[in-house]
Amino acid sequence: MNNKVIRSIFAIVLARLAINVTRRFPYPFVAPIGASFGVSADSIQNVIALTNGAGLLSPLFGILSEHYGKKMVMTGALLMMTGMSALGALFAEYSVFVLVMFGFGVGKIIYDPTFQAYIGDIIHFSRRARVMGIAELSWALSLVIAAPLAGFLLDVSTLQAIFVFLTAFLGASALVFWLLVEPAGANQPGKRIQVMNPLSAMRVVRAHPPAVFALIFTICLTASHEIFFINYGLWMEESFSLVLTALGAVTIVIALAEVIGEFIVITLADRFGAKRTSMYGMLIAAVCFLIIPNLSFSLPAAMFGIFVMFICIETAIVSALPLFSEILPQSRAIMMSANVGAHSLGRVAGGALGAIIYKFSASNFLLIGLVAGLLGFLAFLIMLRFIPATGGQPT
């Protein structure tokens, strides 16, 4: 890679780190954030759910970068989020907080698929998994930054101090991004492709079977993980009676597992193959879903099972990104936006299904693991049979 590409990737990862901090800072501090507005913790949880649900709108924004250029769209997303942060810093109102957090969610669903498409444009497929893995390290690193920094600022000041920091971080990232990132390929001035509207763009995806199966894979993967994820805390409470200790340890386990999963992609996916890395990561995760509910006799065994499961899920998600970026190379931003939408749909469906199963099965975690495992195996089979290793039609 030449120096221009390296500088572009650095700026993209820095900006994504700032964006991910906006997503991750509220999770450990739901109660104090709610107290600062005089609302319940449930109200803040609902705001977080609304922010996550913004991903369902991602396919509507897929055409933007094809129309205006990837660099312009990513810069616009960063500037919009900077403005939202400034709004949150100026007005200590719950209604403003809701608007700001939803704006953060929209900015992320515009930026993420666009940067993934940009990397697809400038990095050859044989090296793309490594670069995607490096970019995804910003997700794990954002938790390391967000949790202690937000805790410190809430302790010595107010929530508005966090928004002041985010305004500076996002604004500086936008400036670095604009100065360092090179325009990519077909989106350079004078080379923009003509794109219709969101419905027409989705017809492009539907007309290509591997793209459709890629989205089904994403929905099954995310739903299987969400079914399990929303219930594991209740299971640990019932099994070990160590709620704070166990869940605090699991937070550390999750962050470490994310980093390891991303390093697996960085070091192995290009050599082993993005398809095989994602496929076998999903297979091992599905096996973990089935095994973990049987580990209620030992907290260390359960923690180890959860650790392995998160490594494999992260590996499956991240290694699928370079693969999916090659399925529709002429419409990468549209494909990757559709994939973000599929992630959100899987998360919403999995969360709802997990809650229903838990309620009507009398807290049967074995059944929850079985359903999650079956969906995981379905995702594995879809990747195995219907998604090509390098784009084009399946063989």
394 inside domain? no
376 inside domain? yes
Backbone angles phi, psi at 51, to 5 degrees: -60, -45
* Domain enclosing residue 285, as ranges: 201-386
Specify whether 63 is located in the same domain as 135: yes
Specify whether 356 is located in the same domain as 289: yes
Specify whether 156 is located in the same domain as 262: no
Specify whether 358 is located in the same domain as 269: yes
130, 157, 183 — which closes off a domain?
183
Instruction: Return the exposure string of 158-175: e unless at least 16 CB atoms fall within 10 Å of the residue's CB, then b.
Output: ebebbbbbbbebbbebbe
Is residue 391's pLDDT more than 70?
no
pTM of the model: 0.84
Percent of the chain with pLDDT strictly greater than 70 = 91
Residue 139 to residues 144, 199, 348, 385: CA-CA distances in angstroms?
9, 31, 20, 30
Is residue 57's pLDDT more than 90?
no
Number of domains in the chain: 2
pLDDT tens digit string along 77-98?
A: 999 999 999 999 999 999 999 9
44 inside domain? yes
> Cα separation of 27 and 37, whole Å?
16
> Cα separation of 22 and 42, whole Å?
19
Specify whether 143 is located in the same domain as 98: yes
Specify whether 177 is located in the same domain as 205: no
Specify whether 147 is located in the same domain as 231: no
Q: Which residue has the tokens 């009398």?
A: 362
- How would DSSP label each residue in 210-275? HHHHHHHHHHHHHHHHHHHHHHHHHHHHHHHS-HHHHHHHHHHHHHHHHHHHHHHIIIIIHHH-HH
Specify whether 211 is located in the same domain as 177: no
155, 183, 211 — which closes off a domain?
183
Distance of CA 123 to the CA centre of its chain: 21
What spatial distance separates the first Cα and last Cα of the chain, rounded to whole Å? 31
Specify whether 230 is located in the same domain as 339: yes
Rg over alpha carbons for the chain, rounded to the nearest Å, is 20
pLDDT value at residue 382: 97
> Cα separation of 99 and 111, whole Å?
18
pLDDT tens digit string along 4-36?
A: 899 999 999 999 999 999 998 887 788 889 999
pLDDT tens digit string along 164-191?
A: 999 999 999 999 999 999 887 544 444 4
Query: Residue 71: enclosing H or E segment and its boundaries?
Result: helix 70-90
Specify whether 275 is located in the same domain as 137: no
Mean pLDDT confidence for 269-279: 95
190 inside domain? no
Handedness of CA 193, 63, 126, 275 (dihedral sign): negative
Coil, strand, or helix at residue 374? Answer: helix
- CATH number, position 320: 1.20.1250.20
- Cβ distance 256 to 134 under 8 Å? no
* Residues near 334 by beta carbon (within 8 Å), at least 6 away in sequence: 59, 62, 63, 66, 195, 201, 202, 204, 205, 328
162 inside domain? yes
Percent of the chain with pLDDT strictly greater than 90 = 59
183, 214, 244 — which closes off a domain?
183
393 inside domain? no
Specify whether 179 is located in the same domain as 281: no
Specify whether 296 is located in the same domain as 337: yes
312 inside domain? yes
> Cα separation of 87 and 143, whole Å?
23
194 inside domain? no
Is residue 68's pLDDT more than 90?
no
> Cα separation of 338 and 394, whole Å?
20
pLDDT tens digit string along 183-231?
A: 875 444 444 444 446 666 678 888 899 999 999 999 999 999 999 988 8
pLDDT tens digit string along 28-43?
A: 788 889 999 999 888 8
Choice between 333 and 371, residue whose per-residue pLDDT is larger: 371
pLDDT value at residue 189: 42
Is residue 121's pLDDT more than 50?
yes
